[in-house]
Every structure is written in C-alpha cells, then in structure tokens.
Amino acid sequence: MSKTQNTPGGVRSKTVADYLNDENIRAIIYQIVAIGLVVLAGWYLVSNTLANLERQNISTGYGFLNLEASFGISESMIDYTPQSNYATALMVGFLNTVKVAFLGIILCTIIGTIFGVARLSSNWIVRKLATVYVETFRNIPVLLQLFFWYAIIPGAFPAARNAFQPLPDVLLTNRGMYIPVPVADNAYDFMGIAAIIAFIVIYFVKKWASKRLDATGQPFPIVWASLGIFFGLALLAYLVGGAPTAMDIPALKGFNIQGGYNISPEFMSVLIGLTIYTSTYVAEVVRSGIQAVPNGQWEAAESLGLKRSIALRKIILPQSMRVAIPPLTNQYLNLTKNSSLAVAVGYPDLVSISNTTMNQTGQAIEAISIYMAVYLGLSLITSLFMNWFNKKMALVER
Amino acid sequence: MKMKTILAAGAMSVAAIAANNAHAGAVLDGIKAKGFVQCGVNTGVPGFSAANAEGKWEGIDVDVCRAISAAVLGDANKVQYTPMTAAQRFTALQSGEIDILSRNTTATLTRDAKLGLTFVGINYYDGQGFMVPKALGVKNVSELDGATICVEPGTTTELNMADYFRAKGMSFQPVVIENINETTAAFFAGRCDVYTTDASGLASVRQTMAPNPDDYVILPEIISKEPLGPSVAQGDDQWADVARWAMFAMLEAEEYGVTSENVDEMKKSESPAIQRLLGVSPGMGEALGLDEEWAYRIIKQVGNYGESFKVNVTDKLGLERGINALWTNGGLQYAWPVR
C-alpha cells in the first residue's frame, strides 16, 4: 500500500501484480504458508501415529488411569497400595519428584553460596579447596555421580542387624537412615498454626522496623526478633497442646528396622548427587555475581563508615543478586529436570513410575505426554516465581 | 527458483515418509534390503542373552534371532543386537526400532492384545522364584513378611509379587531399579533381603554374578507361570510366521534327531517328515516366502532346540530340561508339524 503509484491523470486502479509486489502483502502470504506447513506437518505426524497404533492394535486414550496399578512403590508421601489406580501411582511419583527437587534447590543454594563466597576468600587454602570442589563435581556427568553415591551408600553402611548409631536412636544402615519422629498429636497441629501466625506477625514487625529506620535512622534487630517470635510462639503452642513427649523410635523387628522415619538410600543418592552437582554451578553464579559489583561500591560504603559485614549484606549482595538471579533460575530448572535421572538408581520419581506404567499398560505416548506436561509445568512455575523474585530484587529507582 | 526447490524437497520428503507405511511382508523385505536382523535382547542374563568375553552375544534367546537370520539371510551371524531394559522393550518393538524382541519376556493377555505384540512361541517355560542370602535363615516364601525385595520395573514379576503378598496378607518393601545389573548389584550389596525374578533368571544371576554362589539360596516355591518367548509387532503376519516357524524348525529337528552334526547325512533320510523339514521335498520354504534350505541352515548353523538348550542353559547354569523337555519326553515343548 505504501507503493501506490500516482499517475498524472488520477489514481490508477491496482492490478493483481501490484498486490503481489506489495511487500506487506507478500510478508503476510509467507506467514500463512509457513503456518500452513507447520500445521500440515503436525497433522501428518499425528494422523500417521494414530494409523500406526491402529494397525498394531494398540489402544489409545487416558482411560487406563483408572485401572488398578497393582505394583508396589517403595516410598510415598500419600497413601498408596498396589490396589490404588495408575493416577494415584503417578501422583506418588510426581510428589517424590517435587520433594527431591524442592529440597535439592534449597540445599544447593546454601552450599553453592558458601562455596561461591569461599572462592573469593583471601585465605589461600579455603580458596583452593573451593576451586577443587567446584572443578571436580562440575566436570563429572551427573548420572555417574548418582551411580557413585548409590554404590557408596548401601555399600558403606552395615546391615540392619548391626546398624550404626551416630546419635542415640538414629540408625544408619544399608537400607538408609532411620530417625525417630514424634508420634502424631494435636500439639503439632497447634504448632503448625502458630508458625503461620508467627510469619504474619514477623511480616508486620518487619514493615514497622523499616519504616522506623527510614524515619529515625535507628536499626532494629529484625533477625533476632523474628527468631524470637517464631520459636516463642511455637513453644507456647507446644506447651498449650500438653507438651507430648511420645516418640516413634526405630528398632530392629523381623527383617528390617521398623518405626521412625526412613530416608532411603535411593533418595539420599539422588538428593546428594543433584545437590552437589548443581551447587558447583550455583557457586560460580554467586562468585560472578559478587565480582560484577564494582569495587567503588565497597569504597563508597567504607567512606560512609559502614562495617565490612554490613556493607556486604546491605550493599554488595543485593546488587549481586540482580546479576545472579537469572542464571540461578537456569540452575534450578536444570536440577528439577535432572531429577528425572533418579530412575537409574531406583528412586520412584515421576519418570520411574511413568516408565513402569507405560510398560504395564502399553500406553507409551500417553504416559510420556503426562510427564512431559508435568516437567513443563514445574519448570514454568519455577521460572515464573524466579521472574517475580527478580523483578522484586531489580533496582528500584527513586 | 529457490522457492520451487524448497517446495519440491518438502513434497518429496512427505512422500518418502508416507511410503514408509507398513504393509504385510514389510519387515521381511526390510530385513532383506538392509541385510541384517535387528534383535532386541536382555542387557545381560547369561544363558538367555548376554555378551561373552569376546563380546559375542550368546544364549537361547539369542539363538532364536540367529535361527531367523539363518533362515532369511542365509547366515546366522547377520544379527545386530540391541540390549534393552524391561521398561524399554515394548516401545522399541512397537516403534519398529527392532524387528523382533527375544528377551525372556512373559506372554500375557495384556501384552498380546493391548500392547500391539504377537508372541510367536514359547522358548522357555518358567515360573517366578525368590532368592535370599543363606545367612537370613529363611526356608520358604511365607517367612518373607516385611522383607525388602529387589525387582525390575515393568515386569510381570513386579505384579505377581504384589498379588502374592496381598493374597497372603503380608507386607513388602519394593526396591525397583531399571537396569538388571544395578538391581543385582543392589541385592548383593545387601540393599534388599530378597531378589525375585523368573527361576531361570535367579539361577543365572546366582551362578554368574554372586560374589559366592553358595551364600545364596533359591526358595522352593514357584509363585507364577512365566511362559517366556519372542514377540514381533502386530500387523505383519508373514513376519510373525517366519519367526514362529524358525523356532518350530529347531524343535522339529530335535524331535526327529536332526542335529547340527548330522544334518548333512539326514538329507538322505527316507523319513518324509525330515525330507520336508530339510527341503529335500520342496514346498515348505516357498509357503513362508523363503527358499527351501531355510530349516537346513538353521539346524546347520544354530543347532536344534536341545543343542541350544544344553550349551546355553544346562552347561552354563546347571538347569535341567524339566518342563522344557520335548512332549515326547513328558515336557511342554511341542512344535506344530512342518507340513
């Protein structure tokens, strides 16, 4: 349309050739052709798959989810028996994946930050040790590390009959670690409620404290106050609930140790393997984040008379966070996705249970579509959260 | 010009994929064209399918593939092996990645009807058993309440065990690891009290992988029927026929006393059944879409069923024929007549 030609005798009516030579119209035609090809390819793949399945007499659909799974699962956060259906079995796998990914993300952040700061330490030994740690575990494939831990854990600890007791009532065996847990009681429900109340109170105290800091310049010991509120309320709830002391203590009974909470070797292998592997990347992210903050910031803080520790906490880390959060998000996503390697060491994660399901039912495409959707969902949620966090941490100009 | 090239290339590739759609006889034609049989086997169960010290695959499951290759391609060694875990095997067959699955796989209704497989025969009648360390002092399965049990995922074993323990009102803790080598390593490291699989598999694992085979006992109970046999993808009946009759030819040969040693002399036999089998009186090969020497080559290059069983199972694992004897000796192995 931009190339409409004006002739001296008036506006010439446009011919088909004019339209075809129009850049904008051409662009639209190309786009339509491109979309058409993509749709065609997709349709071809889907119809071909369906035809092949039909030819081989393989049934399709998600109806199998209601059938009885009839296989056992070693660890589950919800009630599961072989009589449960496949949907429940997949849910067990999903929760196990979330459990290991969630704990892994928290632990790798803590360990990674420690090693990242240590790599910048002025102490030669600390600095070199951190470098060796990072370079070793970063450069060994994570699957091999899982195999390594899974070979070590059942191999290094004694059989259930002569379990090793590092602490009273904590048992270490080749079946994993057993720790005593309190027997369920109302008091623990009260403590849960108290914790939620504590978080709300802390939120308001924090708001008040920062307002006071802005107004008067007087700092408030918010960390100590928060800890006090949290534990104080929890203790109060515990006492109100009647201070129960009954514990479920693990002990040898029959073949195995019964009672207590069991942390299986499979879970330990996956958690340790993923945490250590990812923590090396987190360490590098943290180090680069700190180094990205210009030295002038340190000097400026010093000239204002701030202590080095306060300068690190209030000036340097908040700025390095801005650099660190996007690559950190990548590492969290990697950890979540790498957790699918758990299948190799027998941890019943989503992939492991999906594999069993597809094998028993033959619904390969359906089972894979479910776990692909779940991993995509988990990754999107993680990155949405991190994007929100990133925005919150970003420089707010006043 | 450029646009036209792209469009032409696109059209050609679509046509090429479309032409790939299977028709009866497609697998056989494909094998003849590529010159080898792609055979899915176990990652390592000595006696059934395992690579030996020289990296050569051996076992009665491997011999099924070798027999088919001898019948179709004239050479028992034209087989390419794809080792697979229990969880991978059916998808590989459904997708056409392998031509035949010969991996001690139990024939069941679900697998036959719903997974798109066709079982072409049973080359080993088996049942599920349990193995425990001798030190545990367990004498039979009913003492296993509360035990931790190592098992492979996606197997009938996994389901039988859950059924059995449920029926007996006993509890168990499964440890499910995908690769059989990892599973057995976990068992021998003491991660589990019990290892369960087909009785033949237990014998194989005990004999070949245990640090000291005498430290482990296989419990007397057999809790299930496990008819193990090769399978092909549904939809190509001619290919299923070839696979089935390659197995039957080995059984027929044993029944008539034809071995890899005497097969050349047997060609002069007066017995009509042997003449048909060895192609002296023609017709059988043609019916299968093969040449008339198909069974001769199987017997010459691979041996009959009894020979294969003795070399792979009896000599290696110390297991006798048992129910896998020929029907003429009171066993279950019974080939349909080649005629």
8 Å CB contact of A348 and B154: no
- Helices and strands, counts by H and E, chain B: 15, 14
What's the average model confidence in pLDDT over A94-98?
A: 94
pLDDT of residue A398: 52
Chain B residues whose CB is inside 8 A of the A37 CB are 10
Which chain B residue shows the shortest CA-CA distance from A353? B153
**Model confidence over A215-225: pLDDT tens digits?**
887 877 888 88
pLDDT of residue B273: 93
ipTM of the complex: 0.74
Using CA atoms, how far residue B156 sits from A360, B185, B332, B338, in Å, is: 8, 21, 21, 32
Separation of alpha carbons B186 and B150, rounded Å = 8
How buried is A87 (Cβ within 10 angstroms: 0-12 exposed, 13-18 middle, 19+ buried)? middle
Q: Which domains occur in chain B, in start order?
A: 24-125+228-256+305-327 (3.40.190.10), 128-224 (3.40.190.10)
- Delimit the domains of chain A by residue range: 6-55, 91-151+264-393
Using CA atoms, how far residue A234 sits from A184, A189, A194, A214, in Å, is: 16, 11, 6, 31
**For residue A254, which of B158, B172, B165 has the smallest C-alpha distance?**
B172
Chain B residues whose CB is inside 8 A of the A150 CB are 182, 186
**For residue A349, which of A262, A278, A266 has the smallest C-alpha distance?**
A266
Average pLDDT, chain A: 86
DSSP B336: P
8 Å CB contact of A55 and B14: no
CB A280 within 8 A of CB A191: no
| Exposure on the CB side of residue A202, measured as CA atoms within 13 A | 19
Of A72, A345, A361, the CB nearest to B162: A72
Q: Which of residues 80-99 of B touch A (CB under 8 A)?
A: 86-87, 90-91, 94
Determine which of B178, B184, B188 to mutate to test the interface with A (most A C-beta atoms within 10 Å): B178
B180-188 and B199-209 helices, crossing angle to 10°:
70
pLDDT of residue A209 exceeding 50, the answer is yes
Q: Which of residues 180-219 of B touch A (CB under 8 A)?
A: 182-183, 185-186, 189-191, 193
Question: Strands, E, within A117-246: which ranges?
Answer: 164-167, 170-173, 176-179, 181-182
N residues, chain B? 339
pLDDT of residue A367 exceeding 60, the answer is yes
**Model confidence over A314-360: pLDDT tens digits?**
888 888 888 888 899 999 999 999 999 998 888 999 999 998 888 88
pLDDT in tens, chain B (339 residues): 455 555 555 544 444 444 444 455 789 999 999 999 999 999 888 899 999 989 899 999 999 999 999 999 999 999 999 999 887 888 899 888 999 999 999 999 988 888 888 999 999 999 999 999 998 888 889 889 888 999 988 888 999 999 999 999 998 889 988 888 888 988 998 889 999 999 999 998 998 889 899 999 999 999 999 999 999 998 889 999 999 999 999 999 999 999 999 999 999 999 999 999 999 999 999 999 999 999 999 999 999 999 999 999 999 888 899 999 999 999 999 999 998
Tokens read off for B308? 């294969």
Q: Identify the three-state secondary structure at position B258.
A: coil
Which chain B residue shows the shortest CA-CA distance from A38? B10
Contacts of B295 (CB under 8 A, 6+ apart): B71, B249, B252, B253, B277, B278, B279, B284, B285, B338
Token look-up 């956060």 returns A77
Confidence of residue A8 (pLDDT cuts 50, 70, 90): low
Q: Identify the three-state secondary structure at position A171.
A: strand
Q: How many CB atoms lie within 10 A of CB B201?
A: 29
Q: Identify the three-state secondary structure at position B310.
A: helix
Of A51, A154, A356, the CB nearest to B87: A356
Q: Identify the three-state secondary structure at position B134.
A: helix
How buried is A85 (Cβ within 10 angstroms: 0-12 exposed, 13-18 middle, 19+ buried)? middle
Angle at A95 between CA A94 and CA A96, to 5 degrees: 90
Which amino acid makes up residue A134? V
8 Å CB contact of B21 and A51: yes
Separation of alpha carbons B177 and A2, rounded Å = 67
Determine which of A46, A60, A71, A262 to mutate to test the interface with B (most B C-beta atoms within 10 Å): A71
- B233–A contact, CB cutoff 8 A: yes
Q: CA torsion angle for B25, B27, B33, B35 (degrees, to 10)?
A: -130
Write out the CATH class of domain A91-151+264-393: mainly alpha
Which chain A residue shows the shortest CA-CA distance from B146? A255
pLDDT of residue B315: 92
